[in-house]
Amino acid sequence: MKRFLIVLATGAALAAVNLPMAAAEPSHGSASGASGASGCSAPAVRAPAGTEVESVTALRQEGGTIHGTGVIGGTVDGVPAFCEVTATLTHPGDGDHAKVRTWLPVSGWNGRFQALGGSAFAAGDNGVGMGTAVKNGYAAATTDGGLADVVDVGWALNAAGEVDAGLLKNLASRSQHEAAVVGKQVVAAHFGEQASYSYFNGCSTGGRQGYMEAQRYPDDFDGILANAPAVSWDEFEVATLWPQVVMNNEKTYPSACEFKAFTDAAVAACDPLDGARDNLVNDASRCDFDPRRLIGTKVVCDGKELTVTAADAAVVRKIWDGPRTASGRRLWSGVPVGADLSGLAGTTTDTNGRAKGVPFRVPQLWATTWLKKQPSFDVSTITYDQFTRLFEQSRAEYGGVIGTDDPDLSAFRDSGGKLLTWHGQADQFIPAQGTVEYRRQVERKMGGTQRVDDFYRLFLAPGAIHCGLNKGVGTIDDLAALTAWVERGKAPRTLSATLVDATGRSVDRDVCRYPEVSRYRGHGDPAAASGFRCVLPSRH
């Protein structure tokens, strides 16, 4: 069996993962094969439905080190030479200009096509994922959707201060589909044959795009790898403002150090639930640690001794519990126990030494730009009642556009597609329970766990942060598992992973398929995968 070094990245840090590939790889794009394989020319591109092709260009790139653009950045080394084909599309009447980039390895094409998803408000990859795919023999494609970088949303409102519906639609659904259509055309024209298999690969926004592909364009891909997916976007984006709303309304702003004290205490209390002290919460939904247990505890932060107050504990309790209406109706799940609370509950002190909140930019921009339609709106003024109204407004205005939570995946199932997802149980930006709830909806719609497992599998990774197993904070064998499922019918029972526990130590673990959770066997090294097995939880 051949093994290739794959570097998966959606952030500034990278993780090297040895991914097994099929022993018999087809030979594609050799010098004796299609004439386009060793050249680099702009092919004719047929416009996808509803679009016009403005231009198609081609440029040979010598590879080497690819530096990711924008805020996320990152690098990938050892990228071989490739042909870059850029097709610019427009939607008549919308005035947009969406670029679809396709990278074609000059040699060593493995016969596969891989499309790369975006991050936050960026529709596509910044170059690191593309370089990684080409390095491992894939022809790869992505799209900018006519948009900008991850938190550059100057495109969102038009000159009249109204939401640009066309560009939002690009982000929500159509540009990723068009990248699949155009990318496959370019591959076929360049190599003289269609790709043997087509895959999608994304995390966060990219994960949501993967789910949208399965829901609306079920024939685009044979396999979809969609991790930490931002599904139910219209609801969870507002929900992730909740920690800031709580602190502002309670007038209490714990520091990152104080938040860490609560998290550490919860992990210590809930760690033994799997039968071993391995510094991982293997089933965060069962952890019911009460933050009031820390009231009166001394915490040393920046050399100062602080005492945890009842107000601090009340804030943490509300953040873990998640957003509710004034009558107590739950709107969404909270930050999971074990996750870094300062991700969404960021705080700082102003020049006068007064504490204040620092909201995470993505939900802040969603509220100010798409909901209030006032980019300068101060989210610190949002009351509990106003929060509920914003939540309902977002659901009403955008659920059908970018909700991405249609549980009917029958067309994707019938097309033979496979959907694979892992989500970190310590995800500090997108609570994993949202993905769990979507999976439950699919099960209710499509006949239960066993039938859904035939084409869609979810894995919950203990201790893993947002997209962290693709960012150097641990590793996971996800793309190899998907290709084995698609190409050899080998459905993954577990995903081999190296996780990082609460102390920063690396531990090997087989991540369990939902709804199973990891349990210690009662003997063996808690840092070794062999010490654990996957079992059904007492409740889920």
Instruction: Just list the catalytic residues.
Output: 204, 427, 466
Q: Is 528 helix (H, G, I), strand (E, B) or coil?
A: coil
3-class secondary structure per residue, 7-66: EECCCCCCEEEEEECCCCCCCECCCCCCHHHHCCCCCCCCCCCCCEEEEEEEEEECCEEE
CA distance 250 to 235: 23
Cβ proximity of 154 and 174 under 8 Å: no
The closest alpha carbon to 141, from 92, 73, 213, belongs to 213
CA distance 238 to 364: 8
Lookup: tokens for 515 = 């709804």
Q: Is 410 helix (H, G, I), strand (E, B) or coil?
A: helix
Neighbour count for residue 471 (Cβ, 10 Å): 22
Cβ proximity of 150 and 70 under 8 Å: yes
CA distance 23 to 187: 23
Phi-psi region of 50 (alpha: psi -120 to 50; beta: other; left: phi over 0): left
Which residues lie closer than 8 Å to 183 by C-beta, 6 or more apart? 100, 102, 113, 115, 139, 140, 141
Enclosing H/E stretch for 207: helix 205-216
Lookup: tokens for 196 = 């043997």
User: What does residue 182 show for φ and ψ, rounded to 5 degrees?
Assistant: -70, -45
Q: Report the length, in residues, of the chain.
A: 540
Quote the strand ranges of 384-438, DSSP E. Answer: 418-424
Position 444, amino acid: R
User: What does residue 463 show for φ and ψ, rounded to 5 degrees?
Assistant: 75, -5
Lookup: tokens for 22 = 């099929």
CA distance 273 to 294: 20
Cβ proximity of 480 and 20 under 8 Å: yes
196 by Cβ neighbours in 10 Å (0-12 / 13-18 / 19+) ranks as middle
328 by Cβ neighbours in 10 Å (0-12 / 13-18 / 19+) ranks as exposed
What 8-state DSSP symbol labels residue 369? I
Neighbour count for residue 302 (Cβ, 10 Å): 7
295 by Cβ neighbours in 10 Å (0-12 / 13-18 / 19+) ranks as middle
CA distance 313 to 296: 10
